Amino acid sequence: MSRHNEIILYGKMHKDPLIRLTDDGDFVMARFSLDTIIGNRDMQSYVDKLRYQQPWILARDSEIIEKISDYHKNDMIYLKGVLTTQEIIKRPTCPNCQSPIPIDKANATYITPIFIKRMEQNVTDAQALELLKDSCEISNQAMIVGTLCRDPQSFTSKKGKTTTNYQLAVNRKYFIKDGDPMVKTDYPWVRSYDKIAKNDAEALSTNSEVLIDGFINSRIPTRKLTCEACGHSFDWNDLPVLEIIPYSVEYLKNCKSLEEIDKEKDELAENLVDQILKE
């Protein structure tokens, strides 16, 4: 399995970073998010269609955390990192009776910085927007090679929009400080749309290897939960989800070619005709 996992971000610090220290004052963890802008590779319409994302970053390297501890809201930050996944246990509680709600383990996804630098300090929103426009192609960039862990799932909305989701296995090429040394693979998700989604659904399957050129999408899904103790139902904001949205997908190994896809479609059409004639 190939190793390539590179995230480039340039954005405005959304809030002051959360810094965690030991009782002795040693750095343990830093967490923050950046306001980034998406370059949609169509600069003719881009100015009128600005799209923002707030990927979140988690650092455990003490030298990097020390730098981050000096950063503040509205600072412009440039970083290079890797997309990292970690198995966690979610612990929502019922807002009515405060009972814990049992939920299966899940993978949390975040960006681990391996290089970080403050470029500008205390900029206004207007200044940040101009800086992001000038650097939109590097504001939020993901380049990842991975192998599909399972077959992709594809959906078509009532409006005819196609979405395809699949999970990648990506070998780590960087040591994650304070991470489990036995964990050598990360499992990020990819969500493709429209023409790319249709191609992905037809060309990919378990063990297909792909190169993704895209950006990091961040969202907070809402789940409907019901408390077993008191029966109260409520909406719960799940943990932030980071996923890769492709600008393009290069099919590397174990993928169907366009010729194979066209041949399958022709064979399916011929079988349907034969079936109709027999009836």
In terms of residues, how long is the chain? 279
Q: Would you state the pLDDT for residue 266?
A: 54
Q: Would you state the pLDDT for residue 143?
A: 95
Candidates 3.40.1350.10, 3.30.1360.70, 2.40.50.140, 3.40.50.2300; CATH matching 4-278: 2.40.50.140
List b or e across 200-221, with b for residues whose CB sees 16 or more CB atoms inside 10 angstroms: bbbbbeeebbbbbebbbbbeee
Domain coordinates in residue numbering, the chain: 4-278
Confirm if 242 and 107 have CB atoms less than 8 A apart.
no
Strand partners of residue 76:
12, 120
Distances 244 to 140, 220, 276 between C-alpha atoms, Å: 11, 15, 43
Q: Would you state the pLDDT for residue 47?
A: 39
| pLDDT tens track, the chain, 279 positions | 556 899 999 999 999 999 999 988 899 999 999 999 986 655 334 334 667 889 999 999 999 999 999 999 999 999 999 999 887 777 788 888 988 887 767 778 999 999 999 999 999 999 999 999 888 888 999 999 999 999 999 998 888 889 999 999 998 876 565 555 566 889 999 999 988 999 999 999 999 999 999 999 988 888 888 888 888 898 888 777 899 999 999 999 999 877 777 666 655 655 665 566 566
Q: Say if residue 146 is exposed, middle or buried (CB neighbours under 10 Å; 0-12, 13-18, 19+).
A: buried
Q: Would you state the pLDDT for residue 100?
A: 86
Interstrand relation of 241-253 and 189-193 (parallel, antiparallel or unpaired): parallel
Q: Would you state the pLDDT for residue 121?
A: 96
